Amino acid sequence: MGTKSFVNKIRSAYLPEKPHKEIPQQRDLAKDVDPVVLLNKAAQILDCDLSHFRQSQRISKSKKGDRDLLVFFIWKTGMLTNEEIGRLFGMTYSSISHIVRSIKLRLEKDRWLKEKFNQIYSQFKI
């Protein structure tokens, strides 16, 4: 019924920031967004290399914070399960759970981290 850019324009104009849980049409429209594309854009904002996260057994402490923010960002969208997120990062679903819990606690205390997360999250209408 139109080009992808037209659909995205309409979606951004009329779809609320966060779809209402009880309105199936809004949830379905939100699911049409490709989480991998979102993740790649978020990684660009943080100036990260996603392939490095997937391939490395260990990552540096400075990069770990960025990876954890990306994990929390994609988890917060609600588009993927922990297992699916784990596959994107080469981790287990349990690791994703630990990261999410850790970031939630850190966001409450660390203002700089919260600002960084908001910088990423505000760039997308999900």
CATH superfamily of 22-121: DnaA protein, C-terminal DNA-binding domain (1.10.1750.10)
The reported pLDDT for the residue numbered 34 is 78
The model's pTM is: 0.69
Hey, what's the torsion of the CAs at 24, 28, 30, 31, to 10 degrees?
A: 140
Q: Could you report the per-residue pLDDT of 1-18, keeping only the tens digit for each? A: 567 677 667 666 766 555
**pLDDT mean over 17-24:** 59
What average pLDDT score do residues 44-60 get?
81
Q: 82 pLDDT exceeds 90?
A: yes
pLDDT value at position 47? 84
The angle, 0 to 180 degrees and rounded to 10, between the axes of the packed helices 35-46 and 111-121 is: 130
pLDDT at 106 over 70: yes
Q: Are 15 and 30 in contact (CB under 8 A)?
A: yes
**Domain edges within the chain:** 22-121
